[in-house]
Structure 1
Amino acid sequence: MENQLLYLASLSKIDQKLDELNDEYGDLPEKVKEQKAKVNELENLVNETKQILEDVKNFISTSKLNLTELKEKEEKLSKQQFKVRNNKEFDAITKEIEHARSEFNRITTELRTVNVKEENLLLTLEQQLRDLKEAQSELDELLEEEKEISSNQNDELNELNKLKKSIKAKISKKNLDEYKRIRLLHKDAVVLIKKNSCSGCYSNVPPQKIVEIRNNLDLLYHCEHCGRILYPEEIQIDKKILTITTY
């Protein structure tokens, strides 16, 4: 079997470097998420206000048309009163005129209220649009900041991810699953034995175990205290993780 421990140690170094790159974003991703939600909420408010305003405008337009029709109807009925032949017809027309006037007055009163509502809605919409513009501007700034970080990292990320994919392909599924399990608890899942100690938790590693690890680089040995996978100083990984060698 190929040197599984060497590949796992390399994978751990790569993942730690990827973590460092991700940490450069800080709380920026969360800020972007929150700002997007704020912009979305304001957009919904603007659309809601626009819809209400449209309904109000339609009501005003329809009401004005109804007022015109009622006025014309009243004038027409008033002329008919002079042509009636008996009191019964006169009373019927008078009743229609009163109803037309009553409707006219009701709609006129309602229009006054709706006109005030329209003015308030227009003011509300103006404020909402200002808030939306400001929120969108803040979001654009955050996205630009995020883009700049991403752009600066792009080449390095591509290189690391390409190397990570290549190394993962050389690790058995069993060992890879074990590595992933440990990494849920410790970001540095595979650590160096330094001065006879686990460099993850600094617990002592028995000399006999160190000898076993050196003689079985295709097997996995764990720190008895923290559970991290251990590798000996004989395995050397260069700083850029571009080449991996053993001595």
Structure 2
Amino acid sequence: MANTKELSVEDKLRALYDLQLIDSRIDEIRNVRGELPLEVEDLEDEVAGLSTRLDKLKSDLESIEEQIKEKKNAIDEHKSAIKKYTEQQKNVRNNREFNSLTKEIEFQELEIQLAEKHIKEMKASIEHKKEVISQSHDRLEAKKSHLNHKKSELDAIMAETEKEENFLIEKSAEYQAQIEERLLAAYKRIRTSVRNGLAVVSIERGASAGSFFTIPPQTQMEIASRKKIITDEHSGRILVDSMLADEEKEKMEQLFAKL
């Protein structure tokens, strides 16, 4: 690899344009994936959220069922107490004792009625929870299915492009190493500031690629001489002549064809 100090302006321009071609190819690969990785991530979050909610609903259901058991046990205890007090009434010595036991029996009967009312309310709550659980389960399964589909889609694209992307990332790093830091920083800054990521463009029909602003003939001659690095005054992009661009495109196409 050539030392950055030994590079002529032309070599720098070639290295920059090669880097642009490599980075643009990486951009294309990532554009194919598009929003898929984010979609998969969002779906994973939704599935996790629904799973947690479903677990909570099932836990609530178990808790209510346990409370119903406790109420039924309490009813049995109240019934036993009524039976005991009724038996005691047979052996009372006066009306006061009889009335006292009658009040106890009435209290136990009220407790039974209250427990039965609570059981009825809890059974209604169970039915509602079961309906919500069923709906949540169906929604969760639908989301899981959608997630699996999107994951398969992403995996297929990754399988096709991962090897090429990794190779290009390595090549991008190699070409970056040839370029002096100041110039590389400018390239990266321009790349992030323009919509299509093109920091280095060639002259096409008297204008910079993708621009409608004509470049003066004198400036075009300076660009073609490859003696200094010239930028487009309108977009700030680094400019190269079309012949250099065609040569580097051919060279890069041969590199990409090896993949």
Q: Does 1:136 align with 2:149?
A: no
Aligned partners of 2:222, 2:215: CA distance in 1, in Å?
11
Do the aligned residues in 1 keep the contact of 2:13 with 2:240 (CA within 8 Å)?
yes
Q: Does 1:205 align with 2:249?
A: no
Which residue in the other structure is 1:50 paired with?
Answer: 58
Q: Does 1:174 align with 2:182?
A: yes
Moved more, 76-85 or 5-14: 76-85
User: Number of paired residues?
Assistant: 242
Which residue in the other structure is 2:33 paired with?
Answer: 25
Letter in 2 for 1:84: V
Matches within 5 A, 1:19-168: 19-168=27-176
Letter in 1 for 2:204: K
| 1:198, distance to aligned residue in structure 2 (A) | 1.1
Cα RMSD after superposing both structures: 2.4
Instruction: Find the residue that maps to 1:24 and give its secondary structure.
Output: helix
Q: TM-score, normalised by structure 1?
A: 0.86
Matches within 5 A, 1:214-225: 214=224, 220-225=229-234
| 1:138, distance to aligned residue in structure 2 (A) | 1.4
| 1:97, distance to aligned residue in structure 2 (A) | 1.7
Give identity over the alignment, percent. 29
Q: Does 1:191 align with 2:201?
A: yes
Task: List gaps (5 residues or longer) in structure 1.
Answer: none
Moved more, 151-160 or 173-182: 173-182
Letter in 2 for 1:162: E
1:66-120 deviation digits (Å, cap 9, x = unpaired): 1111111221222222333444433333222211110111111221221122123
Aligned partners of 2:50, 2:89: CA distance in 1, in Å?
58
Which residue in the other structure is 1:234 paired with?
Answer: 244
Aligned partners of 1:230, 1:121: CA distance in 2, in Å?
67
Aligned partners of 2:37, 2:71: CA distance in 1, in Å?
51
Q: TM-score, normalised by structure 2?
A: 0.82
Letter in 2 for 1:228: R
Aligned partners of 2:121, 2:19: CA distance in 1, in Å?
71
Do the aligned residues in 2 keep the contact of 1:13 with 1:241 (CA within 8 Å)?
no
Do the aligned residues in 2 keep the contact of 1:188 with 1:200 (CA within 8 Å)?
no
Instruction: Find the residue that maps to 1:225 and give its secondary structure.
Output: coil
Task: List gaps (5 residues or longer) in structure 2.
Answer: none
Aligned partners of 2:70, 2:82: CA distance in 1, in Å?
18
Do the aligned residues in 2 keep the contact of 1:14 with 1:241 (CA within 8 Å)?
no
Do the aligned residues in 1 keep the contact of 2:85 with 2:105 (CA within 8 Å)?
yes
| 1:130, distance to aligned residue in structure 2 (A) | 2.1
Moved more, 73-82 or 183-192: 73-82
1:12-55 deviation digits (Å, cap 9, x = unpaired): 11121111111212443454344334423432432232122122
Do the aligned residues in 1 keep the contact of 2:176 with 2:184 (CA within 8 Å)?
yes
